[in-house]
Structure 1
Amino acid sequence: MRIITLDDFIDTYFKIIQRGSGFFFSKFTFNKEKRTKSAFDNTSFISSYFWSIPKVLERWNILITGKKNQNYIDFLTQDFLKDKSGLRLLSLGSGISNREIDLAKHSAIFKEIVCVDIADNLLKIAAKNAEEKNVTNITFLAKNIDVLDFKENDFDIIFFKSSLHHFDNIENFLSGKIKHTLKPDGLLIINEFVGATRHQFSKTQINAINEVIKSIPKKFRTRFKSKFHKNKYRGVGTIRMIMADPSECIDSASIMPSIHKNYNTLVEKPYGGNLLMSALRDISHHFYELDKEKEVILNKLFKLEDEYLEENQSDFVFGIYENKKRK
């Protein structure tokens, strides 16, 4: 386990440049919930993360649905759930709830969608977006999960969209509250980071990430909002992870074992991210718009990640799981 690394100081410096000093000082509080909320409260920030790259999204679509123009939400509504009706879905850690609003548009399938998050400012934006799109079968609750009332057999679907890795004690959570509030034949649907807890990646993974960085021409390694280049990834320290967001990947390595123990697998699609997430962090903006040179570079990166995944488990997974009947 890495307590502190050089990258902690480098990343902190660039976070101040990119998100401002106010974001940095928001971390100096003993209130864990406030630090967690601050990680998501800067809605004006234009990030430079790899999931914003259109070609990466196409890659994910192909790996999840087999079609570059069909994302996992389209797969759910057009294929997997197309013959269902009157469903109630609970989304925990829904954030700005764009995907949930997209699901709610299919009112023939979904009777009600309930979105829960502690970031009330994001839910206000979500509520406004839903109203503008005339989506009425969706509810937004600004609550901490610890005080949420989980009624027995209450929902047909529990949905985690990049939020399950923010929950602690995953085994107890999935086998307890989630199984309790999910109907006996209900579905657990995830689109999640399921890799190393607190991003404590192995030396093998870190070496592979650095090989990816080396393969990117220097002119495309200028960090977002700076003139400095990204040359190496050294890993992240647990102290900075906890300071930045106490909930970030707090028990992420337990997600897949806990799901497989408590639920039946219906669909499971790994889609990588092991190398791309860390290698492209802060330099993704170079690849938002592509020319032939950049497309060749990304295809090379994809190939390197595919080769890595031949012998290593994926850090990101889309999955649909059925609640195992209680004995």
Structure 2
Amino acid sequence: MRIITTEDFSDIYIKIHQRGLPFVLSKFNINAFKRTQSAFNNGNLKTANFWIIPDVRKRWNRLITGDENQLYEDYLTKNYFKDKTNLKLISLGSGVCSHEIRLAELRPDWEVHCYDFSDKLLQNAAKSAQEKKLNNISFFAENVITYNFEPQRYDIVFFHASLHHFDKMDDFLKNVAVKNLKPGGYLIINEFVGNNRLQYSQEQINYINKAIDLIPKKFRKIFKTGLYKNSYSGSGVLRMIAADPSECVDSISILPAIHRYFNVIEEKPYGNNLLQSALKDIAHHFVNEDAEKKEILERVFDLEDEFLKTNKSDFVFGIYQLK
């Protein structure tokens, strides 16, 4: 376990430039819930995280759906729920709800309920749903840990990049996710399932640095700073807890807990073991791609594929049915 690293100090400096000093100071709030909330309340923040790169998204689509142009929401509704009508879906920790809105668009006969503690994100989501004239999706600003849900109300429980923010995974799935489901109900995840608090192995850190070395310096200038990304030393636990106490708090337990209560219908690992850290804060260079940038990304993708031959994927897409 890494308590504090050089990465932590550079990340603080970068956050000041990218998100402002008030955001960094908010991390000194003694209330852990408030620190977590501050990490999510700004829905309009411009970042340079790896997920903004079009070729990264195409890679996800290919590894999950088999088609780089097919989103997983389309894949789900066409392959697994084509003949299942009038379903009720609950999303826990829905955030900006972009995936839930997509599902509501694809299946107007479904009823979609989005729960998140960030009222600001939900307000933005509700506005987007209204613009699309959707009347089958609703938004609830609640703490799902303490909220008193009606048992066995839903056919599907859905998590996109939110399940890894919940602690005591086995208890959470049993007491919240499972209780919300009707008998034979479904769980759908698209999640980080790697080590708690991003405590990567030394081998993984070495590979992340190999990936950074593949990127020419002109594409390593860090977003909104004059710094260059030259290496990666891993995240320290103290900064992780200060920045967001919920981040990857029990992520390593996600798949074992799911397998305890659910049968696997489909489980697709799709990596990001190197991409998430190597491209963090420099992804903006690769949004507008050309032949040179495409070749660089392909080399980084090949390196990640090499790493994944002998290591478990940090990200998984899965469809499961209640035992």
Q: TM-score, normalised by structure 1?
A: 0.97
Whether contact under 8 Å (2:74, 2:106) holds in the other structure is no
C-alpha deviation, 1:81, in angstroms: 1.1
Q: Secondary structure at the match of 1:41?
A: coil
Q: Which residue number corresponds to residue 278 of structure 2? A: 279
In structure 2, distance between residues paired with 1:32 and 1:270: 31
Query: Shift in Å at residue 273 of structure 1?
Result: 0.3
Which residue number corresponds to residue 113 of structure 2?
114
Give the equivalent residue in structure 2 for 1:315: 314
Given the alignment of the two structures, is residue 101 of structure 1 paired with residue 101 of structure 2, yes or no? yes
- Which residue of structure 1 lines up, in the alignment, with residue 27 of structure 2? 27
Distance 1:107 1:74 in 2: 10
- Mapped contact 1:51–1:57 kept (Cα < 8 A): yes
1:177 paired to 2:176:
yes
Aligned to 1:233: 232
- After TM superposition, where is structure 1 displaced by more than 3 Å over at least 4 residues in a row? 106-109
**How far off is 1:52 after superposition?**
0.7
1:158 aligned residue: 157
Distance, in Å, in 1 between the alignment partners of 2:89 and 2:76 is 13
Structure 1 position 108, deviation (Å): 4.5
Seen in structure 2, the aligned counterparts of structure 1 residues 85 and 108 have a Cα distance that, compared at 3 Å, is: farther
Task: Tell me the equivalent position of 1:64.
Answer: 64
- Structure 1 alignment gaps of length 5 or more: none
Corresponding residue for residue 142 of structure 1: 141
Q: CA RMSD of the aligned region, Å?
A: 1.0
1:125 equivalent in structure 2: 124
Q: Does the 8 Å CA contact 1:159/1:188 hold for their aligned counterparts?
A: yes
1:147 deviates by 2.2
2-structure distance, mates of 1:199, 1:243: 14
* Distance (whole Å) between structure 1 residues aligned to residue 176 and residue 298 of structure 2: 42
1:223 equivalent in alignment to 2:222: yes
Look up the match of 1:306.
305
Match of 1:41 in 2: 41
Q: Taking every aligned residue pair, what percent have the same amino acid on both sides?
A: 54
Gaps of 5+ in 2: none
State the 1:263 CA deviation. 0.7
User: Equivalent residue for 1:261?
Assistant: 260
* Cross-structure match for 1:18: 18
Match of residue 52 from structure 1: 52
Contact 1:153 1:183 in 2 (8 A): yes
**Does the 8 Å contact 1:85/1:108 carry over to 2?**
no
Matched with 2:6 is 6
Write the letter of the residue equivalent to 1:74. D
Distance 1:241 1:130 in 2: 33
For 1:58, give the aligned amino acid: K
Contact 2:59 2:68 in 1 (8 A): yes
Q: How does 1:186-197 map to 2 (within 5 A)?
A: 186-197=185-196
Aligned-residue offset at 1:27: 1.1
Q: Which moved more, 1:217-226 or 1:143-152?
A: 143-152
The question of whether the paired residues in 2 share the 8 Å contact of 1:274 and 1:314 is answered with yes
Aligned to 2:201: 202
One-letter code aligned to 1:195:
G
- Distance in 1, Cα, partners of 2:176 & 2:301: 38
Write the distance in 2 (CA, Å) between the matches of 1:256 and 1:213.
29
